[in-house]
Amino acid sequence: MTSITTSNNTKIFQIYFKSELKQYCDPAFEPLDNTANPRPELREWDVWDRFHEQRLSENLDLWGYVSWKFKEKTNLSGEQVLKHIEEHPGHEVYLFNPCIVNEALFVNSWEQGDIHHPNISGIGNKFFAKLGHNLDVKAMLLDHNRTVFANYIVGNRRFWERFMAFSRALFTEADKDPVFKEEVFGAGRSNYAHDNSLPNFTFLIERLIPTFLELEQFKVCPYLYTSATALPKYAPVLGEIQTLSTLKTLVNRYESAELYAVWNYYRSKLLQQNPSILGLE
């Protein structure tokens, strides 16, 4: 059995890619200068990669990276994040998912991703197949114990070592397969509305993390928002979102087709009654 540390030797690095953005960094986090930004198309994964060996040498118990927009996206301060970790010791991974509607209303982030990034689930399936896994990523119901968007994740050494080896394999496999390489790294293939030059890579990483957590069975602690901590935009539907999110965990706990049918019915009903709800994310 894996030994899980419970000490509070934790650092969370807040990335800024323009000098004027440093002022938005939370004092409880460690500012991380990425103004050089050598591979902007890889987003934060490039930072993880460049600093990975250095982080290992620092012998931290837990570490993670967040963007300069963390407060805006989550409504959480660095102090609240560190307090949550301190009050829930013994986990390998801590999630601070800013997209609670997406988590509650979709089977997983692959289902949600296919709406915005054409066939990203197919690319995910191809990658897992190359690594010897026989699975359909869209068929895996991933609840709030696995789901995270924006890569707001804090993990221990075992998580980071295993995930970096896993994600670096994207480059290895791409070098073997020109078609796969174009699907993952081809400029503009993501169809991202805010930057039409981006490849699928960064959106693939965002969706690989939850599936990886499930396959590897990491001990995960998600942050669960309350009416006091959730962003005001969620207030009109927060109760429904929380109920649907809890239902997903019960489906997985009891492996219940009946509970899945209940969740599926009510998520569809909520979407029908509130067609603009996905716009909250």
Q: What is the pLDDT of residues 65-75, one digit of tens each?
A: 999 999 999 99
> pLDDT at position 8, please?
60
> pLDDT at position 3, please?
40
pLDDT (average), residues 217-230: 98
Q: Which of 126, 112, 243 is nearest to 174 (CA)?
A: 126
174 close to 167: Cβ distance less than 8 angstroms:
no
The angle at the Cα of 148, spanning 128 to 21, to the nearest 5 degrees, equals: 115
Q: Which of 194, 215, 179 is nearest to 117 (CA)?
A: 194
| Residue 239 banded pLDDT, cuts 50, 70, 90 | very high
Q: In b/e form, how buried is each residue of 165-178, taking b as 16+ CB within 10 angstroms?
A: ebbeebeebbeeee
Q: Which two tokens stand for residue 267?
A: 């998520």
pTM, 2 dp: 0.95
| Residue 268 banded pLDDT, cuts 50, 70, 90 | very high
pLDDT digits (tens, 9 = 90+) for 23-44: 999 999 999 999 999 999 999 9
Q: In b/e form, how buried is each residue of 23-46, taking b as 16+ CB within 10 angstroms?
A: eebbeebebbebeeeeeebbbbbb
Q: Which of 151, 162, 155 is nearest to 61 (CA)?
A: 155
Query: CA torsion, points 72, 8, 61, 109, in degrees to nearest 10?
Result: -30
Instruction: Please say whether the dihedral angle defined by the alpha carbons of residues 46, 155, 173 and 121, taken in this order, is positive or negative.
Output: negative
**Mean of all residue pLDDT scores within the chain:** 96
Distance CA 40, CA 55 (A): 21
> pLDDT at position 110, please?
98
Alpha helices in 76-148 (DSSP H): 78-87, 100-105, 109-116, 120-130
Please tell me which residue, 8 or 122, carries the higher pLDDT value. 122
Number of H helices, E strands in the chain: 11, 6
| pLDDT of 5 above 80 | no
